[in-house]
Structure 1
Amino acid sequence: NAQLARPNSVAVDRAGNLFILDTYNYRIRKVSADGIITTVAGNPLASPLGSFNCSYSGDGGPATSAQLCASGVAVDSAGSLFISAVNRIRKVSSSGIITTVAGNGSQGYSGDGGPAINAQLAGPNSVAVDSAGNLFILDFYNNRIRKVSSDGIITTIAGNAQLNHPQGIAVDSDGNLFIADTYNLRILKVSSDGIITTVAGNGTPGYSGDGGPAINARLSPSGVAVDSAGNLFIADSPRIRKVSSSGIITTVAGAGGFGFSGDGGPAINAWLYASAGVALDRAGNLFFADGYNYRIRKVSSSGIITTVAGTGSPGYSGDGGPAINAQLTLPGGVAVDGAGNVYFADPTNHAIRRLQPEASSPTYPFTLTDRGGTSLMTAGIPASISVGYARIGVPASLPLTSGRIYAEVAGAVDTGLAIANLNNSTATIHFFFTDTAGNDLGSGSTTIAPNGQLAKFLDQEPFNGPPSFQGTFSFTSDVPVGVIALRGLTNERSEFLMSTLPVIDTTAPPGSGTVVVPHFADGGGWVTQIFLVNPTDNPMMGNVQFTNPDGAAANVTIEGQTDSTFAYTVAGRSSQKLRTAGATLTTTSGSVRVVPNGGGSAPTPLVLFSYKPAMITVSEAGVPVTSGTAFRMYVESSGEGNIQSGIAVANTSSSPATVTFDLTTLNGDSAGVSPVTLNLPGSGQAAKFLGDIFPSLGSSFRGVLRITTTSSGLSVVSLHTRVNERGDFLITTTPPTAESNPSSTREWLFPHLADGGGCTTQFTALQRNCRPILIWNPAFLRSERSVIDPDGVLTTCSSSIPPASKREMDKWPLRSDICHCHWPILNCHNPLPNCTPSAAPRFSAAIPMAYGQRSEAAIHPGAPNPVRSHIRGSASMAPSGMESTSLCNSSRVGIPVSSP
């Protein structure tokens, strides 16, 4: 979001850093591969922004203290930066010291054969450096190309009335020089032995010639670059064109419209405005200055265009932060060095600015024993949160190209959706809303860049749902995508609580017969909501039946009616909600049966638990349905009153069932306790904590629980519970996986992970056929978006949570060149006092895991003081799960992880 002002030249070093000439900001700026922008030359205090006061100062000192008006930038193999600026060429060494290497500051033409620093230049506006250290200068008003040898002697190598206002030069690995001869409408080549020829352009203005010889094409060149294969790239506003080593010209960016559009899609469909300096990195990515769009843009080697620097608004801002948040003013020359730093001239801001490269993501391979698991946790030590994702090749379900969720936007309730595109092509998403009467409304579409992510509430862009709505949200994608959905509730203390919603694959045939939800609770502070979603276009009718643990009818009150059975009618593509009153002092619990009329297709159910003691809702958790005869799940126990796993099992048959619980450690060894057998009556149910099932289990345990039955089937759910310092009972679901689930070698995706700024992420992997889940806890934020959560492991907090104002969803980077969104995070007014974080080594987010794993992620607040930036993103992993907890937080959420 940085602002640039007329960026008109770029360069790329060997490590992929981008350098931008930020013309009207009078600076050279650098954009690293992870998108961070800095100024590497030019003094914003000495040179008033936008003043066009092209002063000269600073030789022998730090480049960031110098005054300059840069028009071109290049970088050599040693990382030294060369800048064309007001009748001089200046050099910034790798240590940041600036000197003049050519030009005495007096406009004219003289000095050939002598020291370059004594020569006269006239408006040099582009520079290039060859592998031998020779410097080439485009001497604009002299219409010449001049060369400064490695020993400092200047000569003229091209021109002598042959050029007409040239505006760009580049040199290849063989020492051949390429010139954008702008007013002659050609690209010229000067061979290493001094022979000049035309390689592109016929001298006629216009646009033509794609697919044919470049020398027959019409073009208006303003910049040129050459890659290691000898291909030329030409800034031909509003396009970027390519001349192959065989001389054939094509367009690689720009549809011909002047303006700004196309990010995240094919570059040839994008609109550009005054494209200028071009540069390439070692990976074949193309960078160019999109001048009057006040941006630096990148065309990946696969042809996708994105913005890597600039907000589109002229100005100077953003140093030290994400380059896409920075302001540039007509950026000019761009260069990339061997370390991946991207430099660009920001002339109006009197600066050379830099984007620094991203460190490569580490990997953490491991193997799993049968019945075992493993665990990795991020340290959470940096003050700012890092967002990313983890990828892993593991069992996965079929790709998702069509889906539907229960949707509600009303008062304190909101619904959010995250879609992650792991493909190398853009995903086009079409969507629509359906109300409870089955009426479709509010349709639209959006795109997600390759390997990109979108996460928004349904009443926000791009969904723009109704301000008050209940029903469903349906979508389709032209490529497989991973999707998760969240329901948010702002409670009576203005805290934002979240729970997950299932995403239904509407391409799969609906199930038939009775569906059993393994647990409900009503009264004693508990309220249960049942959402029935119709995955078809036809109405569905039937009954919802509540039964107690003995399998007998259990009465509850819904909308003033007290009974054990309630009829439902769900319109096609829509949903229906049933909510228990929760008015009694004692708790009624058991299971829920969704029974379709005539044994037909049943709607997809979700049960949402809400715990509301003392008239304050402190936790919500959605319970999905998992049925089968054998299950595995990650479980944990850390002592009385702390983390405890809870398990509910329901007998789906009317005949008695025997259930066996078998516990192993993460190493796959026996947990030191004998298997436990439980007898369930027909349609019966049991809900127990891990410590209740295994009373002799130690106070601290993490492992794998296997549940089996010899009967026709069970429905199972696992809960993680925790009591925080305030005494709030927090719950979240950790869905078990049926062992009968099919396996594949596809990747799973965790759409979110977080590390630092009060958060850590823990991944655990469980052996064999486990579905992934993500459990994520929102950080508390101040109004200026500062994390204020205490550490979730070693923190003692002596005060209560302050009131909060609202929830927000914001954009965060998932990869170095992609902007993404994260789920809502609470926005609080004041930090918590007396909180001390723990210390641990830092951890990054790319984790490949072996076949058949389960992953869990725990996010623990870890920063007592406010911090400004937060990293959140997605993770692509094995069958896995993530969990988040916070000692001072009042919300925990389980997020099912989808397969793309």
Structure 2
Amino acid sequence: PIQVCIDFSALGLTTTEGLKLYHFENGEGVNRTVSVDLANQIACAEVSFLSPFALFTPLNELFVSNFQTFIPHSAQGGGFLTRLFVTNPSNQPNRLSITRRDPSGTILETTETTLGPGGTVQLAGTEAERVGALGVEWLALGSEYPLAASILFDFDSASLDLAEDFRTAVGALPGPPVSSFTVPVRVATLDVTVSLALANLTDADNQVTLTLRDTTGATRATDSLTLGPFAQAAFSLQDRDAFRNAVLGVPEFVGSLDVAATDPAAPLAALVAANERGQLTSLPVSQSTMDAVSPPPPDPIAGGGPRTFLPHSATGGGFLTRVLLTNLTRSINVVTLHRYEQNGLLGDRRILSLPPQGTVLLADSEAARAGPLGINWFALRSDFEIIASMLFDFDSAALGLAEDFRTAVSALPSLPLLAFTAPVRVAGVEDTVGLALANLSSQSTEVTLKLRDASGTVVAEDSLVLDGLAQTAFVLHDRAAFRDVLLGSGEFLGSLAVTSGQPVAALVVGSSNRQLFALPVTPGAAE
């Protein structure tokens, strides 16, 4: 070890009690203090290599990150613009740091800020940066209390002076640290594709294996790659030589992808996005649970066994819904699917038997796209763990409209929630936020909605009553209580805090220039 001693007598510190000597390692300050001589004002540390040091007293000591939040992919330039939304759902001031890294793992920038109770911050690139070269990076956020975070990157062909007027947007939710995960896959030639972004959360090389399975759970192809320390990689499945023939050799491939770090103690953060004929959507990432485990005791919500809730779907009026289910275990998994109407009545019930690690695609017919709009929600009960996602996409051609317009959004499962917080950004009627709520109880429940500005101040309140197993969906600025606040200024930035007397499932969807994207729903709400 190398011993370094610093004479701080010339600094004129007014407080020296508890002084510590920090060494900067991998972009973070690490306490390497071995001794502090207050009489002679000398502090010593031991390190294995040399980089900048910093002295801290209890008044300005680096804070400890109790919670980590990872955004495994963002894109800026090449027509893309990125926005990061962070909301503090706690009742305490929440200090946080945001570290940006490029794909090689190099730190680009670290910033710190403090959010008040219920406060929100937006970090966005400039419109001028859209026209620059495409840059890819990933983000690590450290905070004292849990955060609600999401990233939106939207593409606009006009910024590149392309002849085709084309826009799309996708919201990326935080990627939990996982050593292995499974994601559903659907590829239909080059019109429907799946892309993967992986960020290595460790300071050592991380070897990753990828296994592609069909609907029966059989292995169709395998691949591997190595990520350097804190490095990131992003690619489409069909661009990997090992997978190209499997996913493009048939008109439509449906199955799942298993991703695993060779070292179970080496976590990854992951984002999976689908391209549905030019429209980007996100897919769920779930920690793999290959060994079947006993289901939990019966629960009044949708019966016993693991429950999965998809709080919103839309079919008709130009929309079409698809549901992907993957069995995460090596055992046969019986799934009971309930499809409820908005009034709480059961519209459909079916029982599915998923083979070990198998996948099923449930889709409404294309003919239903041209019919009247129908909204409902799904409650699934399974013997063992599953991963689920729902895609509903809109096509103006189905309605005979003159304008050729498409958009799509994926709905990921929702936890049963008594309280949650979601970020809100509205810039006129073109940028909106919509909310879908499904009552998971057979009893009616009152739901309270509080709109907070960026400082965390409540600026509007509303409430509604949901009957048992009923669902509602609306755009926030269509509610009279919120309209003036959301549309009365050039841009509103803040959050929505929702509380309910009974558990609900929730989906929050944003719209930017008519492009839909999912926003995060984080349990808990500031009072």
Classify the TM-score, shorter chain.
0.5 to 0.7
Matched to 2:337, the amino acid is: V
For residue 364 of structure 1, give the secondary structure of its aligned residue in structure 2: strand
8 Å CA contact 1:569, 1:576 repeated in 2: no
Aligned position for 1:60: none
Change (3 A) 1:569 1:406: same
Distance in 1 between the 2:206 and 2:287 partners? Answer: 17
Number of the residue aligned with 1:431: 210
For 1:374 and 1:676, the matched residues in 2 are separated by 23
- CA gap of 1:387–1:460, structure 2 versus 1, over 3 A, is closer
Which residue of the partner structure matches residue 406 of structure 1?
Answer: 184
Q: Which moved more, 1:448-457 or 1:393-402?
A: 393-402
Cα separation, 2, equivalents of 1:709 and 1:623: 21
Judged with a 3 Å threshold, the aligned counterparts in structure 2 of structure 1 residues 633 and 573 are, in CA distance, closer, same or farther, namely same
The structure 2 residue matched to 1:574, chosen from 345, 349, 358, is 358
- Tell me: CA distance 1:441–1:362, structure 2 relative to 1, closer, same or farther (3 Å): closer
Identify unmatched segments of 5+ residues in structure 1: 1-280, 284-358, 491-495, 555-563, 741-766, 769-900
Asked whether 1:534 is paired with 2:322, we answer: no
Deviations along 1:427-468, one digit per CA (max 9) or x if unpaired, are: 111221211112123123221111211211122226525123
**What is the aligned partner in structure 2 of residue 365 from structure 1?**
112
Q: Which residues of 2 match residues 492-531 of structure 1 at below 5 A? A: 496-507=278-289, 512-531=305-324
SS at match of 1:677: strand
* Partner deviation per Cα, 1:598-621 (whole Å, 9 max, x = no partner): xx3352221111011124561111
Matched position secondary structure for 2:477: helix
* Whole-angstrom distance in 2 between the partners of 1:731 and 1:649: 17
Q: 1:327-726 alignment to 2 at 5 Å?
A: 361-382=108-129, 383-394=132-143, 395=146, 399-411=177-189, 412-461=191-240, 463-465=242-244, 466=246, 467=248, 468=250, 469-477=253-261, 478=263, 479-490=266-277, 496-507=278-289, 512-554=305-347, 564-581=348-365, 582-596=368-382, 600-601=383-384, 603-615=386-398, 618-627=406-415, 628-640=417-429, 642-671=430-459, 673=460, 675-693=461-479, 694-699=482-487, 700=489, 701-711=492-502, 713-722=503-512, 724=513
Equivalent residue letter for 2:518? T
> Taking structure 1 as reference, are residues 388 and 416 closer, same or farther at Cα in structure 2, changes over 3 Å only?
closer
- Once residues 528 and 609 of structure 1 are traced to their aligned partners in structure 2, the CA distance between those partners, rounded to angstroms, is 4
Structure (1 or 2) with the greater helix fraction:
2
Q: Is the 8 A contact 1:626 1:737 kept in 2?
A: no
1:707-734 deviations in whole A, cap 9, x for unaligned? 11111x1100100023x4xxxx321110
Query: 1:214-272 CA deviation, whole Å, 9 max, x = no partner?
Result: xxxxxxxxxxxxxxxxxxxxxxxxxxxxxxxxxxxxxxxxxxxxxxxxxxxxxxxxxxx
Amino acid at match of 1:538: S
Residues 221-300 of structure 1 correspond to what in structure 2 (within 5 A)? none
Q: Which amino acid in the other structure matches residue 704 of structure 1? A: S
Q: Do the aligned partners of residues 407 and 361 (structure 1) sit closer, same or farther apart at CA in structure 2, a change above 3 Å counting?
A: closer
Alpha-carbon separation, structure 2, partners of 1:379 and 1:669: 27
Amino acid at match of 2:329: T
Relative to structure 1, the CA distance from residue 688 to residue 570 in structure 2 (aligned partners, 3 Å threshold; closer, same or farther) is same
Deviation per CA, 1:795-834, whole angstroms, max 9, x where unpaired?
xxxxxxxxxxxxxxxxxxxxxxxxxxxxxxxxxxxxxxxx
Contact residue 515 and residue 602 of structure 1 kept, 8 A: no
Alignment of 1:205-216 (within 5 A): none
> What is aligned with 2:162?
none
**For 1:276-332, what per-residue CA distance to the aligned partner results, in whole angstroms no more than 9, with x for missing partners?**
xxxxx997xxxxxxxxxxxxxxxxxxxxxxxxxxxxxxxxxxxxxxxxxxxxxxxxx
Which amino acid is 1:475 matched to? Answer: V
User: SS of the counterpart of 2:353?
Assistant: strand
Alignment partners' CA distance in 2, 1:389 and 1:602: 29
Using the alignment, how far apart are the partners of 2:369 and 2:344 within structure 1? 23
**Which secondary structure state, in structure 2, belongs to the residue aligned with residue 464 of structure 1?**
helix
Q: Is the 8 A contact 2:209 2:260 kept in 1?
A: yes
For residues 198 and 176 of structure 2, what CA distance do their matches in structure 1 show?
A: 16
Q: Distance in 2 between matches of 1:462 and 1:483?
A: 21
TM-score, normalised to structure 1, is 0.38
Is contact 1:428–1:446 with CA below 8 Å preserved after alignment?
A: yes
What letter corresponds to residue 126 of structure 2 in structure 1? A
CA distance in 2, matches of 1:378, 1:426: 31
Whether the aligned pair in 1 keeps the contact of 2:183 and 2:387 (CA below 8 Å) is no
- Letter of the structure 2 residue corresponding to residue 586 of structure 1: P
Deviation at 1:380, TM superposition (A): 4.3
Output the CA distance in 1 between the equivalents of 2:324 and 2:125.
35
In the superposition, the TM-score normalised over structure 2's length comes to 0.64
Are residues 527 and 408 of structure 1, via their aligned partners in 2, closer, same or farther at CA, if it must alter by over 3 Å? same
Give the whole-Å Cα distance in 2 for the aligned partners of 1:717 and 1:431.
30
Secondary structure of 2:238's match? coil
**For structure 1, which segment, 536-545 or 700-709, has the greater mean C-alpha deviation from structure 2 after superposition?**
536-545
Q: Is the 8 A contact 1:624 1:735 kept in 2?
A: no
1-structure distance, mates of 2:409, 2:453: 26
Give distance in 1, aligned partners of 2:405 and 2:257: 26
Contact 2:440–2:504 (CA under 8 A) maintained in structure 1: yes
Displacement, 1:661? 0.6
User: What secondary structure sits across from 1:459 in the alignment?
Assistant: helix
What is the DSSP-based 3-state SS (H/G/I as helix, E as strand, rest coil) of the residue aligned with 1:667?
Answer: coil
Distance 1:378 1:550, change over 3 A: same
1:381 match: secondary structure: helix
CA displacement 1:532-560 (0-9 Å, x = unmatched): 12111112223322222110133xxxxxx
What CA distance in whole angstroms lies between the structure 2 residues aligned with 1:409 and 1:427? 27
Letter in 1 for 2:140: R
Q: Please tell me the residue identity of whatever aligns with 1:715.
A: A
Shift of 1:369: 0.6
- Inter-CA distance 684–453: structure 2 relative to 1 (3 Å threshold): same
Tell me how many residue pairs correspond in the alignment.
Answer: 363
- Tell which structure's C-alpha radius of gyration is larger: 1
Contact 2:423 2:520 in 1 (8 A): no
CA distance in 2, matches of 1:551, 1:566: 17
**1:472 match: secondary structure:** strand
Change (3 A) 1:663 1:448: same
What does the per-residue CA deviation read over 1:644-669, in whole Å, with 9 as the maximum and x for residues that have no partner? 10000001111111111111111011
Deviations 1:387-443 (A, max 9, x none): 333332134886300100001222221111111113111111122121111212312
**Larger strand fraction of residues:** 2
Separation (CA, whole Å) in 2 of partners of 1:602 and 1:566: 18
Report the CA distance shift for 1:660/1:376 in structure 2 as closer, same or farther (over 3 A).
same
- Percent identity between the aligned chains? 22
